[in-house]
């Protein structure tokens, strides 16, 4: 029997629901739409990332603080996320990184690539 792999690749093979928990004043009171490709990342912000499926280690719920385009702090909010932060801290992305992965998934012909 041959295993069949789905072509579904959502944000680098993970369905990631991105919720902006707390943004700096530079973001205003409304969170930018994740689908906007012209969104510009502010100098500093914090968001909550829930990654629930995929073929990589980035699974769980994270609180991510970004400064000057890089992840300054990532906190795992559940067991899976705590393991990722401890063992693979470089896997936790910025929102710009997530949007870039989503666009790459779309270019690669993903069946589904979305963010909220």
In this structure, is residue 5 part of a structural domain? no
In this structure, is residue 95 part of a structural domain? yes
| Residue 28 buriedness (CB in 10 A; 0-12 / 13-18 / 19+) | exposed
Give the total number of structural domains in the chain. 1
Percent of the chain scoring above 90 in pLDDT:
46
In this structure, is residue 2 part of a structural domain? no
Range of the domain at 39: 16-107
In this structure, is residue 3 part of a structural domain? no
In this structure, is residue 8 part of a structural domain? no
Q: List, for residues 30-57, the tens digit of each pLDDT value.
A: 443 444 457 789 999 999 999 887 767 8
Q: List, for residues 53-78, the tens digit of each pLDDT value.
A: 776 788 999 999 999 999 999 999 99
Q: Is the pLDDT of residue 10 over 70?
A: no
Which residues are 67's β-sheet partners?
44, 70
| pTM given for the model | 0.65
In this structure, is residue 112 part of a structural domain? no
């Amino acid at each position: 029997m041959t295993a069949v792999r789905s072509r579904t690749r959502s944000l680098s093979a993970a369905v990631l629901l991105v919720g902006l928990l707390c943004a700096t004043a530079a973001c205003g009171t409304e969170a930018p739409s994740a689908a906007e490709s012209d969104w510009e990342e502010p100098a500093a912000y914090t968001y909550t990332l829930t990654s629930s499926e995929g073929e990589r280690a980035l699974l769980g719920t994270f609180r991510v603080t970004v400064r000057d385009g890089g992840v300054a702090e990532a906190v795992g909010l559940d067991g899976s996320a705590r393991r990722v932060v401890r063992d693979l801290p470089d896997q936790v992305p910025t929102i710009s990184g997530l949007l870039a992965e989503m666009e790459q998934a779309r270019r690669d012909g993903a069946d589904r690539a979305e963010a909220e």
